[in-house]
Chains A and B, each alone.
Chain A
Amino acid sequence: MKSANSALNVKRFFIYIFMVLLVLIAIVPIYLLLINATRTNAQINAGISLIPGTNAAYNWHALTSRSFQITQGFFNSAYLAVMMTLFGVYFSAMTAYGLHVYTFKGKRALWGAILIIMMLPSSLSFIGFYQFVAKLHLLNNYIPLIVPTIASAGTVLFLRQYLQSVLSMELVDAARIDGAGEFRTFNTIILPIITPAVAAQSIFSFVGSWNNFLTPFVLISNTKKYTLPMLVQMLRGDIYRTEYGGIYLGIAVSLVPIIIFYAFMSRFIISGITMGGVKE
C-alpha cells in the first residue's frame, strides 16, 4: 500500500510541476501586456519587465488626448456587448427550445441547415453583408450589429444539446396542464432550468462581441460610436511614431473588464457544460 501511495505521490509531484508551468505560460504574456501599459515607449521597446513602470499617467494622457473619448468608447463597447449577448442568447434559447420540444414540418431541414451554417466561413458573407447594410441605409448604426446575433447557429447547437440532456417533457406537459401558455412556459420554467448553459454561452458571446473589431470597423465611421478596440487601433494613426505605451494601456482597459466579468462567471462555464453530461 505504501509503495503504491508513494508512486502516486511522485506522479502527483511531476503533474503539479507541469501544471505550474502551464499556468505560468498562460499568465506571463497577459501579465507582460498589462505591465507594458505602465511603461514608456522607449522602455517597452528596450525589453520586457516584470515590474510595473511609472508611466501610466502619461500613457493615459496619450490615450485620451486624441480627438476621441475613451470613456465613450468603453460605454459603446459595453452597450453593444450587452445587447448582442442578450439578443443572441435569448433568441438562441428560443430557437433551441422550439427545435427540441416541437415537431413540425421542416424541422429536420432547419436543423441540418444550422449545422451547415456553422461551417460557412464568415468571410464568405462579409462582402455581401456590407453591401446589404449599405443599401438599407443602416451604416453608422448599431442595428446591423445587434440584430444578426438573433441567428447564432453555434449557440443554438449548444443549447439544444443541453436541453436534450436536461429537460424532461414531463415538466412541459405539467405546465401545459396547469394552463400556462407556451411562451410563458418557456420564459418562466425553461429558462431557469438552462441557466448554467445560458450563462456559459453569455460569457462566450460577451467576450466575442467585446473584442470584435472587424465588423464594427467596416460599418461605423462616426468616431462617437466607435468601440474600444477601434479606438485602441486609432492610436496607430500617429504615423510617424506609434505610441506603444498608450496602445498597451488601451488594451489593458479593454481587457480588465473582461477578466473581471470572467472571474465572476467562470464557475458557470464549467458547471454549465458539465451538467450537460449524463448523470447516473
Chain B
Amino acid sequence: MKKFLIVLAAAVVLMTGCAKKEAKASGTLVVWSFTDELKTMIDKYYSPSHPDVKIEYSLTPTDQFPNKLDPVLASGQGAPDVFALEAAFVRKYIESGLLLDITDIANDVKAKELAYPIEVGTFNGKVYGLSWQGTPGALFYRRSLAKKYLGTDDPAEVQKNFTDLNKFLETAALLKDKSKGKCVVVSATGDLFMPFKGARKAPWVVDGKLNVDPAMLSYMDICKTLKDKGYEGRQGQWSEGWFAGMKGTLKDEKGADVEVFSYFLPTWGLHYVLKTNAPDTSGDWAMCPGPAGYSWGGTWVAAYKGTKNPVAAKDFIKYVTTDDTFLEAWAKDTGDYVSNNTVVAKIKDTYSEPFLGGQNHYAAFATMAASVNGKLMQGSDQAIEGLFNEAVTAYMNGEKTKDKAIEDFKSQVNAQLGF
C-alpha cells in the first residue's frame, strides 16, 4: 500500500510538473491584418486546435494599414498583440524596435525554414517577424503566343530567350517584328520593376546614404526603350487594361487587338491574379525563371513588444508561420508556396497545374525561392520607390532627361527622408 501511494504521489508530481512546463497559450489575442488570409487560417485551423485562445480580429485595407498601426504602436495605446505586415512596409516595423523579439522561435526552426523570409524579419541580429510563405517571382507567358512567334512553348526553351536583360530586349524586338506590331512583351513597363529590384547588389540606403544601384539605372533605360520602340502595352499595373491583357482582350485606341506575351508575377500572382482574372485562358500559360530572380510581396507576422500575452503571441506566430501540419494543409488548400522547406520537399512533386498546361509550378518556385536575396529590403523602400517611380515615368515619357530625373529624385529623397 505504501509503495503504491508513493508511486501515485510521484506520478502526480510528475504530471503537474509536466503540465507546468507546457505553459499553455491562453487568453485573448488582438490580431490585425489587411486581408482575409489570416482570418481564414485562424477560423479554419488555429482556433479549432487552440480553443483556449480567444482571437479578436480586425481588418484594415493595405494602403491604410500603416496609418492605423503607427499611432498605436508609437503610443502603446490600443496596440494589437499580433499583426500582419506586408512586404511593402514590413521593414519599417522590423527596424523600429517596437516588436517582440522572436529570435528564439527563429532559431528553433531555422533548419527547416526558407532563408530569405527570416533575413527580411531580422534586424541587428535579432528576429522580429516570420512568414508562412515564400513569394519568389517568375515570368508567366502565353503558350500559344510562344508557339506562334518563338516556335516552342517548352519552358526550358523559352527561358533561353530571356536569360538576361539584353536577351530580353532582343526577344521583345523579335516579338514585335514577327507579329507586325501586334504583340508586346509586357503590357506595363512596371512589370519589370520587381525583377530589376531583385537584381540589385545593394539596397537603397547604404551607410545612411542613398545608393542608386546600377540595376535601377538599367531599369530606367529599359523602360524608355520599351516605350520608345513600342514593345510594351502602355497600361498601368492593376488597371483594367492590365487585366485585359491577361484575358487576351486588350485593345488599343483604334480598337485593334494587342497581344501581351508575358507577365512578371510571383507565387500569389498565379492564383489571385492570373487564375481569377483570366479563367478562360486556362491551360495556355507556362512559367520560366526570366532574366532575374526576385521576390514580390509576402506577408510577415509579428507581435508588439509590449503585448500583454507574449506566450500566446509567440505560440500563434510559431504555429502560423512554421507548423508542419498546418502549413501542409494550408499549401494543399490554397496552393500557397510555404516557407517550410520540409513541407515543400514533401509535396512539391505532387503538383501539376492545369492552368499552366500541367506544369509543376510548385517545384519551379522551389528552385527560384532559393536564389532570393532577403537583405535588400529596407524600411525606407516604400517612400524612396514612390519618388523613384515618378522619376522613371518622367524620363520614360520624355518629360525630363535622365540626368535631370535622377537629380530631382535625389533631391526629393534628401528633402523628405534625409538621405
Contacts and interface: CB of A to CB of B under 8 A. Distances in A.
Q: Within 8 Å by CB, do A and B touch in the complex? A: yes
Interface of A: 42, 45-46, 66-67, 130-131, 134-135, 137, 139-140, 217-218, 221-223, 233-242
Given A134-B72, A239-B35, 12 more contacts: A45-B239, A67-B39, A67-B59, A134-B77, A221-B58, A221-B60, A233-B61, A235-B61, A236-B61, A237-B61, A240-B268, A240-B276
B75 A134 contact: yes
Contact of B71 (A134, A137, A241): A134
Nearest to B68: A221
A239 B36 CA distance: 10
Contacts of B268: 240
27 contacts: A42-B240, A45-B240, A46-B240, A66-B36, A130-B71, A134-B77, A134-B78, A137-B77, A139-B72, A139-B78, A217-B64, A217-B68, A218-B67, A221-B60, A221-B72, A221-B78, A222-B58, A223-B58, A234-B60, A237-B34, A237-B35, A237-B61, A237-B62, A241-B243, A241-B272, A241-B276, A242-B238
Interface residues of B, number: 29
B273 A218 contact: no
Nearest to B86: A239
B324 to A, nearest CB: 28
Interface of B: 32, 34-36, 39, 57-64, 67-68, 71-72, 75, 77-78, 238-240, 243, 268, 272-273, 276-277
Given A134-B71, A217-B64, A237-B59, A140 B34 contact: no
Nearest to B297: A239
Task: Name which of A236, A237, A238 has the most chain B CB atoms within 10 A of its CB.
Answer: A237
A46 B58 CA distance: 34
Contacts of A42: 240
A134 B273 CA distance: 40
A123 to B, nearest CB: 14
A242 B276 CA distance: 12
Contacts of A217: 64, 67-68
Given A134-B71, A239-B34, A139 B77 contact: yes
Contacts of A134: 71-72, 75, 77-78
Contacts of B272: 240-241
Contacts of A66: 36
Contacts of A239: 34-35, 61-62
B388 to A, nearest CB: 21
B58 A241 contact: no
B128 to A, nearest CB: 22
Nearest to B78: A139
B24 to A, nearest CB: 28
Contacts of A67: 36, 39, 57, 59
Contacts of B64: 217, 233
A42 B240 CA distance: 8
B61 A234 contact: yes
Contacts of A140: 78
A67 B55 CA distance: 15
A66 B61 CA distance: 12
A234 B59 contact: yes
Contact of A218 (B61, B71, B243, B276): B71
B370 to A, nearest CB: 26
Q: Would you list the 4 A-B pairs with minimal beta carbon distance, nearest first?
A: A45-B240, A134-B77, A237-B61, A240-B272
Given A217-B64, A218-B71, A223 B59 contact: yes
Nearest to B272: A240
Given A237-B34, A239-B34, A135 B77 contact: yes
Contacts of B39: 67
Contacts of B276: 240-241
A239 B272 CA distance: 9
A236 B273 CA distance: 15
B77 A241 contact: no
Contacts of A236: 61, 63
